[in-house]
Amino acid sequence: MIAAADFNITLTKESRLKDFNVKEIPFGKYFTDHMLVVDYADGEWKTPQIMPYGPLQMSPASSVLHYGQAIFEGIKAYKFADGNVYIFRPEDNFKRFNISAERMMMPEVPEEIFMEGMRKLISIDNKWIPQKADHALYIRPFMIGTEEALGVKPSSSYKFMILLSPTGPYYSAPMRIKVEEYYVRAVKGGVGSAKCAGNYAASLYAATEANRQGFDQVLWTDAHEHKYVHECGTMNVFFIIGNTAITPDLEEGTTLAGVTRDSVITMLREAGLKVEERPLNIEEAVEAYKAGTLKEVFGTGTAATISPIKELVYKGFSMQFDLAKWTVSPELKKKLDGIRNGDVPDTHGWLYKV
């Protein structure tokens, strides 16, 4: 058992913050002064280290470089007007991280390393948190296999780390989305419900092809019929049809159990909308659009928060939306931003004070 005090902390001699005066902060491009590093070997976690941010030294035979044993999470922290710092639902990300670890045959990270390490790291680098609309401190916990050996098997050693990145919005404008009819993100029995690196590597080709055609991302569909909606790029997706919000269920393990997704479901029900977590055939969405009952389509995620989809294209048929008439997702975003910024009371206990 690692106690909260059992952290070795080495502070940087000179902060890079003085050189950080970017007017518009892109997502995930800049990193704070320090990082958390913890090694796992001989069946146990070693002493956590907080040290200056910098390159890693690792063997070219490290198992992650050959067999892709890597998982990660995305979390955000916010600084309120009174100077206090809060993290949004980190306990849920901690639980999901270890679910991913189990699926990828990696060791469970103890809560005292994950949660206390994150808290200590943010306490040290809290001056990096941007205080402006749609900005936050993005938190990236991740774990990689580090055993120096070739052979397809779980690594015997690992490295768990946390990086911090002051960041702006992931998608800066409403999106044009292509419904993907050939490539797939996940299949039943696969690793779609794990937040592992391979899922994202496998998505790049289809996303790049969509970009070349003028789209921002793809809407993934099932592997068998390419009719049932899965995720939208790196986000969960919601369709507002009539007075019902529909989002793909988690039953087959092909969709990530998003923390923002769960928050949105809670807020939708509080707003009086019916929420259905179920398989959604894209043809149902097309028919609803033609009938005038498909009112809104939007993605949700930690990085993206709530991102409206202004156009959805399926088999050459374009579904275009007038965002000025939307009411559900703008109100959701306003309330969620309010909770995260301290302007709206947190009645769910979603905020974790640093």
Spatial separation of the C-alpha atoms in residues 251 and 277, rounded to whole Å: 9
Average pLDDT over residues 232-237: 95
Q: Whose CA is closest to 264, among 337, 336, 180?
A: 336
The per-residue pLDDT for 169 is 81
Alpha-carbon distances of 328 from 68, 127, 145, 193, 279, rounded to whole Å: 39, 34, 43, 27, 21
Pairing of strands 49-52, 70-72: unpaired
Which residue bears the tokens 């699926």? 103
Average pLDDT over residues 90-101: 98
Write down all domains in the chain, each with its CATH number in brackets.
8-168 (3.30.470.10), 175-339 (3.20.10.10)
**Per-residue model confidence as pLDDT tens digits over 4-45:** 568 999 999 999 998 887 777 888 999 999 999 999 999 999
The per-residue pLDDT for 132 is 84
CB 145 within 8 A of CB 154: yes
Residue 215 confidence class, pLDDT cut points 50, 70, 90: very high
- Please indicate, yes or no, whether the overall pTM of this predicted structure exceeds 0.75: yes
Phi–psi pair at 49, nearest 5 degrees: -120, 130
Find how far residue 107's CA is from the centre of its chain.
21
Chain mean pLDDT for the chain: 95
